[in-house]
Amino acid sequence: MASIRVVQLSDLHFSTKPGGYMLRDTAETFAAVADRVRVDAPDLVVVTGDIANEGKVDEYELAGDALAALDLPVHCLPGNHDFVDPLHGVLPRPNIAVQRSLRIDGWVFLFGDSNLDGGEHDPTAGWTDHPDRVDLARGGITTQELGWLRRQLDLGDADHAMLWLHHPPGGTGMFERPGYDDQIAELVGAATPLRAIAAGHEHAGVDRASAGVPSHVCPSTGVCIDFDALLLMPPGYRRFTFHDDGRIDTEVVWLEDERWADRWKLPAWVAEYFAGQMTDDEMKARMAEASGESG
Ligand SMILES: [Fe+2]
Ligand SMILES: [Fe+2]
C-alpha cells in the first residue's frame, strides 16, 4: 500500500436518554458523519474514546450497530466515559476491533489508554474501572501502560509509529494534568519511531505539538466547541494520510449541515470553566442558574 488513509472519529457519546448528550441527538449526528465517512472510504477508522456517554451496555449496543454499519475496518480505544468491560464485551463485531496495536506495511498504530485515574490495575484481577471514572477526566498513563507503549516503540521493527489516545497531551486549563506531558516526552525519546499523536476528549479540532511531535485533536461527532471564539461548533471528524516515508497529512472535517448550522456564542463563564478558573461545583451551580433563567 503506497499510503494509508484513515478516518478518526471521537467522542461519539452514544446515549439512550432523551435529548442525547448536551442537547444533541448523538445517534443523529453520528449518522450524518457516517454518511460522509462512507464516501471517503478510508482503509481504516479509528475511534478514540467516549464511545458511550455513561459506559452502559445498551449504549455500546447502539454504538456497535452504528459502527458496524460503516462496513469498514474499525479500531476502538476507551475514553473516560467508557467502561472497559462493557466496551470489550459488547462493542466488537466482525469489522470492529479493540486490539492494542495494528501493523500496516511500515507503520505500527498503537491504541493507548490514557485514563490513569479511571481504574485500578491489579496483577491478579486485571483492570477494574472506578465507578466515578466519567468525572475523573484528566489524562495520564499508568506505569503498566507506559511500559507497554515504551516496549512497542523500542522493540518493534516498524519504520514509523502513530499513537492514538483519548486525552491529548498539551492541554491547558481543565484539560491539563501535571506529569502527563512528561510521560509523552518520555515516549518520544530520540530513537523512537513515534511520528505523531492523535486524540479526542477536548471536543475541538486543533493541531499542536508535544515534545516536538505533532499532536492532533479530533472533534466530537456530537458536540464541539471553538475554545478561542467560544462558539458551539457542528459535528466533525479528522482525515489522515500516512505515507510510507513517515509523512502524515491530516485535516479536520466539519459537518456543514443546516441541522447544526447555528454557531451559538457561549457565555463567558464557560470560558472560565474551561480555563480551570471555576470548580465543577461552581460550574454546575451556574448551569442550574442558567437553566432556571431559560425556564
Ligand atoms: Fe468526550
Ligand atoms: Fe473524554
C-alpha 180 to ligand 2 mean position (Å): 15
Q: Give the pLDDT mean for 139-148.
A: 92
What cell was used for 37?
465517512
The ligand with the least distance to the CA atom of 51 is 1
Centre of ligand 1 to C-alpha 3, Å, is: 30
Task: Please give the distance, rounded to the nearest whole angstrom, from the Cα atom of residue 24 to the centre of ligand 1.
Answer: 13
**Ligand with minimal distance to 117 CA:** 2
CATH code for the domain defined by 3-264: 3.60.21.10
Annotated domain spans of the chain = 3-264
What pTM value is reported for the model? Answer: 0.92
In three-state secondary structure terms, 126 is strand
Q: Hey, what amino acid is at 107?
A: W
**Between these two residues, 177 and 14, which has the higher pLDDT value?**
14
Cell digits for 188? 518520544
Report CA(244)–ligand 1 centroid distance (Å): 32
Report the pLDDT value the prediction gives residue 20, as an integer from 0 to 100: 74
Q: Strands 74-77, 44-48: parallel, antiparallel or unpaired by DSSP?
A: parallel
How many A from CA of 190 to the centre of ligand 1? 32
Q: How far is the CA of 202 from the centre of ligand 2 (A)?
A: 7
- What pLDDT does 122 receive? 80
Span from the CA of 206 to the centroid of ligand 1 (angstroms): 15
| pLDDT value for 248 | 98
C-alpha span between 199 and 215 (Å, rounded): 8
pLDDT level of residue 192 (50, 70, 90 thresholds): confident
What are the tens digits of pLDDT across the range 167-180? 999 988 888 888 99
| Distance of alpha carbon 120 from the chain centroid | 21
For the cut 80, the answer to whether the pLDDT of residue 276 exceeds it is: no
Burial category of 279 from C-beta neighbours within 10 Å (exposed 0-12, middle 13-18, buried 19 and up) = exposed
- CA 49 to centroid of ligand 2, rounded, Å: 7
C-alpha 12 to ligand 1 mean position (Å): 7
